[in-house]
Amino acid sequence: MTSLFKAALILSGAVNGVQAWGSLGHATVAYVAQHYVSSSTAAWAQGVLNDTSSSYLANIASWADSYRATSAGKWSSSFHFIDAEDNPPSSCNVDYDRDCGSSGCSISAIANYTQRAGDGRLSSANVAEALKFLVHLLGDVTQPLHDEAYKVGGNEINVTFNGYSDNLHSDWDTYMPEQLIGGYALSDAQGWANTLIGEITSGGYKSEAASWIKGDTISDPVAAATRWATDANAFVCSVVMPDGEAALQTGDLYPTYYNSAIGTIELQVAKGGYRLGNWLNMLYTSKVAKRGLEGEEDSASHFDLLGRDFLPKPRPLSRAKLARMAMEGSCCGTEEHRH
């Protein structure tokens, strides 16, 4: 890509605004996952989504963000993050009982929608909704600032990136990935996914990819999702704000900070896609395919389909949870910070 063409693409983003990881990150996670699902899993997902195109997961990867932005979908806004009430940069950690709010969080939602996607009692519309949430949320949980309460996940950390005044959360979701790739169309996402798949297959990620899914089991989705959130949250201390908030506000984050962060962004998007592919394969094999076997007991019939049994015990609201409530259902400030 010539730099002039690249500049034109970035400029067109300035005119149209970004669609809100942003749509590029989520679609890339989806394309990576599509590469790793089995043909049986793919056929099941295409049937559920009623989409046999080569972008069946990428096409719905940002549905949950659009849904959250509607009045009908506002109830689901807390599913996009877990507000870890740790103390970056000196201490980073996720505690499910401490951090998952009473209306749910990414971890409880991943657990619930895993259960619902595999349950034979639900309508096809409900199963499609569950799959759409999973494709999105397994991406969100790898974005470090979706696993952090500090300044509402960095939404309230005002910074300058490449000449624009915005916030740290939006830069991680959208603007740093777009700076790397030069656009946010599905074709851009497919191209980025191909690069990441190459790294997983025979490049720099080859030796570590197995560790990204180590221990993941569909029978304990809270443990798996907590591990993913903990893994991403650790980067808040080491990469996102290693020297604290003030150090991010002394000048433009481009190029020095961008260069320090972009490798982690690529790594996390690759992880999200690899985990999603594996998760859908396990969901298909141990839930969907088994259901068709005669005489097989439907273990899902023991579950609460609303996922209430996954939530931690209720407790008083912390200051971080109150700050999140004040955002009134928004999780990310991208609407007001268009480049």
Question: Of 140, 147, 171, 188, which residue is the catalytic one?
Answer: 140
Catalytic, 35? Answer no
Question: Of 44, 63, 65, 83, which residue is the catalytic one?
Answer: 65
Query: Shortest distance, CB of residue 153 to Zn ion, whole angstroms?
Result: 7
Taking the least distance from each CB to Zn ion, the nearer of 65 and 231 is 65
> In the complex, which residues of this chain contact Zn ion (CB under 5 A)?
65, 80, 140, 173, 332
Catalytic, 302? Answer no
Contact indicator for 167, 156 with CB cutoff of 8 Å: yes
Taking the least distance from each CB to Zn ion, the nearer of 289 and 327 is 327
Catalytic, 169? Answer yes
Contacts of 207 (CB under 8 A, 6+ apart): none
Query: Shortest distance, CB of residue 107 to Zn ion, whole angstroms?
Result: 14
Question: Of 173, 212, 231, 275, which residue is the catalytic one?
Answer: 173
DSSP state of 250: S
> Partners of 252 in the beta sheet?
160
SS3 191: helix
Taking the least distance from each CB to Zn ion, the nearer of 320 and 332 is 332
Question: Of 63, 80, 192, 228, which residue is the catalytic one?
Answer: 80
Taking the least distance from each CB to Zn ion, the nearer of 140 and 231 is 140
Catalytic, 26? Answer yes
Taking the least distance from each CB to Zn ion, the nearer of 190 and 334 is 334
Catalytic, 339? Answer no
Query: Shortest distance, CB of residue 157 to Zn ion, whole angstroms?
Result: 13
C-alpha 227/C-alpha 118 separation (Å) is 21
Amino acid letter for position 211: S
C-alpha 157/C-alpha 155 separation (Å) is 6
Query: Shortest distance, CB of residue 7 to Zn ion, whole angstroms?
Result: 26
Query: Shortest distance, CB of residue 44 to Zn ion, whole angstroms?
Result: 24
DSSP H helices, the chain, are 3-16, 23-36, 39-49, 63-68, 96-99, 106-117, 124-140, 151-154, 168-170, 176-181, 186-202, 209-212, 221-235, 256-283, 289-291, 319-326
Contact indicator for 37, 54 with CB cutoff of 8 Å: no
Catalytic, 65? Answer yes
Question: Of 116, 169, 275, 339, which residue is the catalytic one?
Answer: 169
- Please spell the DSSP secondary structure of 135-158, one letter per residue: HHHHHHTTSGGGG--THHHHTT-E
Catalytic, 68? Answer yes
Catalytic, 116? Answer no
Catalytic, 337? Answer no
Taking the least distance from each CB to Zn ion, the nearer of 186 and 332 is 332
Query: Shortest distance, CB of residue 82 to Zn ion, whole angstroms?
Result: 12
Cα-based distances in Å from 66 to 76, 155, 232: 11, 18, 24
Question: Of 83, 119, 146, 231, which residue is the catalytic one?
Answer: 146
Residues designated as active site = 21, 26, 65, 68, 80, 136, 140, 146, 169, 173
